[in-house]
Amino acid sequence: MGFCISLGRVAVDPRLADFFYNSDSLFFSVIYQELFLKSGANFLTSLNGFGWTPALYFFPDLVQYFALRTIFLSMENGGWELTHLSYSAFQWIFLLSGILFLLQKFLKEKISYEKAGLVLAFGFSIGSILILFKQDLFVFLPGFHGGNLAVLCWAWGFFYQWERSNSKKNFALVVGAAFLFSLSDLLFVPYFLIPTLSLHIFDWLLRERSIHRFQKITYIYSPVFLGIVASRVVFQILRKNSFIFFPGTASPKKIGEAIATWNWENFLHSFSYLCRENWIYLVLIILFFGILKFLPKKEEGEDLNKPVYLFLILGILVPFIFLIYGFIFGLTGKSGIQGIDRYFGEILLGFLGIGVLCILRISDIPVLRFGLGVIFSLGTLFGIFSSYSKGLGLTYYPAKVACLDELTDRYHLRRGVASFWYVRPMRIFSKKGLEPDDYLYDLMLFYWQNNLNWFERENPPYTFAIVDGVDEKIVRKKLGEPISISYCDKIPIYIFANPEKSLEFVKENRGKIELWKFSTSRY
């Protein structure tokens, strides 16, 4: 309850709202709008020419979001917001349930309702803290790799279930999970494989270094690699289709060039930044690991060492490998990492997983179990009180969108030029049907997360430009001199009434699109 109430802070807290409803998180909102809500929408043709994101996010993101948006379709006001908030709650519950599902595979007895309640109370308390303190919000949203964290423990559970049973059913489950999750988000592959392979390799090195054991490990991983290979084949097929543009992942540098340009100062700066940004998680992971090693082992038949090390490796080793990979292949920029966010969410999951393990072990001691219950109850009450005292809300109508809507009434605006961070919030939350198109700073077309047909339309003409993130001189050159300049939150809004210049600009767009299609073999 406390967690759900904390979500009510989103609409009334500008910083929370700006993140929850930013252009990245509204990607599936725009797709749903194009497919089902726009006038003349056609499920079979509306996405023709649409540019996807590098990660496909098919499952759970797209499926989950579309299902929830359909449930709230009848709502005249607040449908988009309620979809986002319920998505956040569902994804967090899915993640916590996955941890319990995985741990149950290593326990002799079923996790009691009392222990499961403590685990969920812990998880919801952490969720409330993240929301109220505006930390790691990507884990709650679609299109931010949060879905990858939510499915990881489920995939591990299927894998260890297969390792124990070797049944055809579990083989198929692992193939399906590896295929679907790696197709949806390529980050799934290192998240899944680095911890599991590390444990199997260490086990092989320390216990039984034999060909037979190596063959058995290879056999265990066969459904995983089969699913991953199949996903890459399907992904290449999708990339070659001419209907929807799937851009794929960033191209890394050549290894020789990357090593030659290696900069230790930038690497150490990024490493220290990574540690500073996540020091609480890292300290708690090590602390919980120490507690688990200190506590006496339980009865035979329970093997909690494996999940302990899984989450330890996920939270500490995997992000370090990611950092090195980013530097070797030149994916972190010249100055190293500038921000730690969605690509290092495995640290958060590592903390949650090892924290749940610690709670399950500590709760065997009645006094400590009671103490945990009191602490989590107080935490829930604090979250509820903190949320209520600052105010709650549902509908989101940002000031910039409201201001543009007001200008729409005055100047009969409809279509305009804007940069990435303005476009999707305005398309979703405008009450006047504003349709700004997404351009880069020099007014070149931005292919990702946009429909090429938007740039090629002659009508309605371009009648406004939000001069923030686009070059003012180029805007004047392409669309003519504005008949009026207004301001929304100190941002200049140019108003135009020159359909001839708009048509010239659209024809120029068509030429760019034709050239792009030719260069990418998309005819």
Residue 330 DSSP symbol: T
- Asked if residue 135 lies in contact with residue 126, where contact means CB atoms within 8 angstroms, the answer is no
Segment among 72-86, 131-145, 234-248, 430-444 with least mean pLDDT: 234-248
The number of residues making up the chain comes to 523
| Residue 427 to residue 424: CA distance in whole angstroms | 5
pLDDT in tens, 75-106: 888 999 999 999 999 999 999 999 999 999 99
Listed residue (21, 31, 33, 95) closest to 433, CA to CA: 33
Residue 263 amino acid letter: N
pTM over the 0.85 mark: yes
pLDDT in tens, 410-469: 999 999 999 999 999 999 999 999 999 999 999 998 888 889 889 999 999 999 999 999
Listed residue (354, 303, 347, 356) closest to 97, CA to CA: 356
| Residue 3 to residue 127: CA distance in whole angstroms | 6
The residues facing 445 across adjacent strands are 439
Count of CB atoms within 10 A of residue 86's CB? Answer: 18
pLDDT in tens, 268-301: 888 888 898 899 999 999 999 999 988 876 655 5
Residue 164 amino acid letter: R
Region 129-134: mean pLDDT is 92
Q: Dihedrals φ, ψ of 440, to 5°?
A: -80, 180
| Residue 51 to residue 61: CA distance in whole angstroms | 17
pLDDT for the residue numbered 337? 57
Supply the DSSP string of 203-250, one letter for each residue.
Answer: HHHHT---HHHHHHHHHHHHHHHHHHHHHHHHHHHHHH-SSEE---SP
User: Residues near 256 by Cβ (< 8 Å), separated by ≥ 6?
Assistant: none
Listed residue (92, 78, 111) closest to 8, CA to CA: 78
Mean pLDDT of all residues belonging to the chain: 89
Q: Pseudo-torsion of CA 166, 169, 172, 176, nearest 10°?
A: -120
Residue 370: Cβ-neighbour burial (10 angstroms; 0-12, 13-18, 19+): exposed
pLDDT band at 333 (very low <50, low <70, confident <90, very high): low
Output the CA–CA distances (angstroms, integers) from residue 468 to 44, 287, 290, 297, in the order listed. Answer: 35, 46, 51, 60
Tally: H helices and E strands in the chain: 22, 7
Residue 290 amino acid letter: G
Region 198-216: mean pLDDT is 86
Supply the DSSP string of 334-391, one letter for each residue.
Answer: TT--S--SGGGTHHHHHHHHHHHHHHHHHTTSHHHHHHHHHHHHHHHHHHHHHHHHH-
Segment among 175-184, 202-211, 304-313 with least mean pLDDT: 202-211
| Residue 85 to residue 4: CA distance in whole angstroms | 8
Buried (b) or exposed (e) across 437-474, using 16+ Cβ within 10 A?
bbbeeebebbbebbbbebbbeeeebbbbbbbbebeeeb
**Positive or negative: CA dihedral 339, 341, 346, 347:** positive
Residue 26 has pLDDT above 60, yes or no: yes
Segment among 225-234, 314-323, 370-379, 470-479 with least mean pLDDT: 370-379
pLDDT for the residue numbered 338? 54
Output the CA–CA distances (angstroms, integers) from residue 218 to 29, 200, 215, 253, 367, in the order listed. Answer: 42, 10, 5, 31, 45
